[in-house]
Chains A and B, each alone.
Chain A
Amino acid sequence: GESVGLHLPTLSVQEGDNSIINCAYSNSASDYFIWYKQESGKGPQFIIDIRSNMDKRQGQRVTVLLNKTVKHLSLQIAATQPGDSAVYFCAERNYGGSQGNLIFGKGTKLSVKP
């Protein structure tokens, strides 16, 4: 899920398939991990969060998995729809430092083919 230079990693999936978006985070002390969705021309929108003492959390059509051993976070979207096309950002939060502000990753672009 991390970008290189100006080009976002892109995930292209067929409508109806499941999508898995990955993210590597940097701070093993982070308390929470959060996923945001940003549609073209809009501000980011909160999807789901997970506390660091959990390894899985489910929402509506989305599941977030956390692997603290390798500092890896993933967002799974079930039955991907055209409306899921967007850039997805992971973010981490450490209440013990930086006033608990969010640190965003660089994003992954999800493209859904009809």
Chain B
Amino acid sequence: NAGVTQTPKFQVLKTGQSMTLQCAQDMNHNSMYWYRQDPGMGLRLIYYSASEGTTDKGEVPNGYNVSRLNKREFSLRLESAAPSQTSVYFCASGGGFGDNEQFFGPGTRLTVL
């Protein structure tokens, strides 16, 4: 039981490049989330998916797109990376209605030059 896995762990991009962050969970959760965490800040929600086939914007969606590929996988895409997107990105699952516990992956540390 791996929980929530994320790839890659680290990535350096140049401004304007694109990339996709991958996330998978094996806990059969309906809900999945993407957060970003900046130094000295809490987590801010980028996008979420309450169930397979649905996605919705969170607090800071600009510059990102997501795909809920199936129940297990939820990917985050940066189409044209900007230095302001330098951050640590966390994927989480669980925490659907009536459940406050979200399970987080280990994070992806992204630097945009």
Contact = CB atoms under 8 A, between A and B. Distances in A.
**Same assembly:** yes
Interface of A: 3, 5-8, 32, 34, 41-46, 49, 89, 91, 93, 95, 99-102, 104-107
Contact of A8 (B40, B90, B92, B102): B40
B100 A3 contact: no
* B: contact size bracket: 20 to 34
Nearest to B50: A99
Contacts of B40: 3, 5-8, 106-107
Nearest to A101: B45
A99 B33 CA distance: 12
Contacts, number: 60
A46 B101 CA distance: 6
A44 B105 CA distance: 8
Nearest to B58: A101
Interface of B: 4, 33, 39-45, 48, 50, 56, 58, 90, 92, 95, 97, 100-107
